[in-house]
Amino acid sequence: MTTKTEGTLIYDALLSVPWMNEHVKVDLKISRKQILLLSQVILEGIQATDGMLSELLAILPKESSSELKQQVVEFLQKAGLSELEGKLKTLEAGK
């Protein structure tokens, strides 16, 4: 079993391959429920302060987090869930 540091080194090596920066068109057909859940998982992962996710984000350029956030916004817009997601954030903030 690899340690977090070894795992991070492996991902760092994989992500440094030149063709990893190429854009790929992905045609997905997933439910709105899955888009909402996926968006929350991505946003929570970006905010992680410990564990492998935070280590992975540390080796990536700062733009990567911004790009992921922008993709979440696009997912929610395309699914017509932007307003609902905003209301959920408001409810969560009110706790």
Instruction: Give the residue numbers spanning the domain of 82.
Output: 4-93
Alpha helices in the chain (DSSP H): 4-15, 32-46, 51-59, 62-78, 82-93
How many distinct structural domains can be found in the chain? Answer: 1
Judge contact between 60 and 15, C-beta under 8 A: yes
pTM over 0.95: no
* Distance separating alpha carbons of residues 28 and 26, to the nearest angstrom: 6
Q: Do 84 and 36 touch, CB atoms closer than 8 A?
A: yes
By CB neighbour count within 10 A (0-12 exposed, 13-18 middle, 19+ buried), where does 75 fall? buried
pLDDT digits over 5-50, tens only?
787 888 888 888 888 888 889 888 999 999 999 999 999 888 888 8
For residue range 37-85, what is the model confidence (pLDDT) as tens digits? 999 999 988 888 887 788 888 888 888 889 999 999 999 999 999 999 9
